[in-house]
């Protein structure tokens, strides 16, 4: 840990020695490259986001019994509590990774971005709403597992990650409709909650 800590300390303290103009120049260069990427029509991204949302909605309708049974304290047929919670957790991780990558690509390559285009903003909101629903169902599956077999460090860590992903969706929604930067607040929530988790 000492070499890694020394390296991170050097990076942190070294930023104070760099001229501010260099940082601004890099920022402007990155912004100009992002602007150059904005060539995909808003309608194309709206259709793609709508297609993803429709697939999720179809999955929710067809698999409603599997998704929502934990909310009523019932295990689906053929599942143990551990398998049900584990599968729900990893499904959530894959869905969240896919959705956030998709939203990031839309925000940097759409000709109007994600916030300025009305249709992409609405489609992005629906996608995030479905992501929140998946996070709630994953949390209910994990809670059912914990109620039956108790806490373990791994289960608490899984609960923490689900809460962080859920708050990531909420923060993204807030940023999408208000235009505010919510990354700092989300990072603080993740860091403070992780620190409190380690105290336990």
71-104: per-residue pLDDT in tens?
888 888 888 888 888 998 999 999 999 999 988 8
DSSP letter assigned to residue 18: S
pLDDT in tens, 129-184: 999 999 999 999 999 888 888 888 888 889 999 999 999 999 999 988 888 888 88
DSSP 120: H
pTM: 0.78
Question: For the purposes of burial, counting CB atoms within 10 Å of the CB of 35, is it exposed (0-12), middle (13-18) or buried (19 or more)?
Answer: exposed
Give CA separation, 104 vs 98, 109, 155, 175, in Å.
Answer: 10, 9, 30, 13
Is residue 166 within 8 A of residue 96, CB to CB? The reply is: no
In 15-117, alpha helices (H): 20-37, 42-62, 64-68, 81-109
pLDDT tier, 17 (very low <50, low <70, confident <90, very high otherwise): confident
When pLDDT is cut at 50, 70 and 90, the band that residue 67 belongs to is confident
Measured CA to CA, the distance from residue 160 to residue 89 in angstroms comes to 11
CB 103 within 8 A of CB 169: no
Give me the half-sphere count of Cα atoms (radius 13 Å) on the Cβ side of residue 40.
17
- 24 Cβ contact partners less than 8 Å away, ≥ 6 residues apart: none
């Amino acid at each position: 840990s000492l070499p890694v800590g020394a390296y991170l300390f050097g990076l942190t303290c070294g930023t104070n020695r760099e001229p501010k103009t260099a940082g601004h120049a890099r920022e402007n260069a990155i912004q100009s490259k992002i602007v150059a990427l904005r060539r995909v029509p808003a309608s194309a991204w709206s259709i793609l986001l709508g297609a993803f949302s429709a697939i999720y909605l179809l999955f929710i309708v067809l698999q409603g019994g599997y998704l929502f049974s934990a909310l009523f304290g019932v295990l689906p047929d053929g599942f143990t509590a551990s398998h049900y919670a584990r599968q729900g957790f990893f499904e959530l991780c894959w869905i969240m990774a896919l959705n956030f990558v998709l939203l990031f690509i839309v925000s940097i390559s759409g000709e109007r971005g994600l916030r300025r285009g009305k249709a992409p903003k609405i489609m992005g909101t629906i996608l995030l709403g479905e992501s929140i629903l998946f996070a709630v169902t994953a949390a209910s599956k994990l809670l059912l597992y914990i109620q039956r077999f108790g806490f373990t460090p791994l289960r608490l860590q899984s609960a923490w990650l689900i809460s962080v992903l859920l708050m990531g969706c909420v923060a993204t929604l807030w940023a999408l409709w208000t235009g505010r930067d919510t990354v700092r607040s989300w990072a603080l929530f993740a860091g403070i909650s992780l620190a409190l988790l380690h105290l336990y």
